[in-house]
């Protein structure tokens, strides 16, 4: 009996992993939003959970996923990991490099 349970358990674990999005292609179907900024920079992002206190963000086709946490800010919501800052107000956003304060893009929105 044990020889049937162990392979079944292993298969169920693998099936669970294969259905989990690893942050591959962006798109609404996978929970990722794809925005383009006025600078033509592409921002691919999603809320990690229903609380909307954490955002996963990718710049363009880069494989690096920045895990940004919400921080106090003015109007809208501001997320940062100390490297990238992402501000969302309504249906558009602004993204920049935190350390140098260099703008990556503004007017970022779904296109």
The model's confidence at residue 67, banded by pLDDT at 50, 70 and 90, is: very high
Residue 111 banded pLDDT, cuts 50, 70, 90: confident
Q: Is residue 95 within 8 Å of 102, Cβ to Cβ? A: no
pLDDT band with cut points at 50, 70 and 90 for residue 30: confident
* Domains observed in the chain: 23-110 (2.40.128.200)
Per-residue confidence (pLDDT) for residue 100, from 0 to 100? 96
Cα distance between residue 62 and residue 50, in whole Å: 25
pLDDT at 110 over 80: yes
* Model confidence pLDDT, tens digit, residues 39-61: 999 999 999 999 999 999 999 98
pLDDT computed for residue 16 by the predictor: 37
Residue 78 three-state SS: strand
What sign does the CA torsion over 39, 102, 106, 67 have? Answer: positive
pTM above 0.75, yes or no: no
- In whole angstroms, how far apart are CA 81 and each of 13, 38, 45? 31, 23, 14
Distance separating alpha carbons of residues 11 and 45, to the nearest angstrom = 30
Contact assessment for residue 69 and residue 53, using Cβ atoms and an 8 Å cutoff: yes
């Amino acid at each position: 009996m044990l020889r049937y349970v162990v392979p079944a358990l292993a298969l169920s674990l693998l099936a669970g992993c294969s259905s989990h999005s690893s942050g591959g292609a962006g798109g609404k179907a996978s929970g990722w939003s794809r925005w383009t900024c006025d600078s033509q920079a592409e921002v691919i992002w999603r809320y990690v959970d229903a609380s909307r206190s954490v955002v996963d963000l990718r710049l363009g086709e880069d494989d690096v996923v920045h895990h940004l946490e919400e921080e106090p800010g003015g109007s809208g919501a501001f997320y940062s990991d100390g490297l990238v800052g992402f501000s969302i107000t309504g249906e558009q956003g602004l993204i920049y490099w935190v350390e140098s304060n260099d703008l990556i893009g503004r007017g970022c929105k779904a296109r």
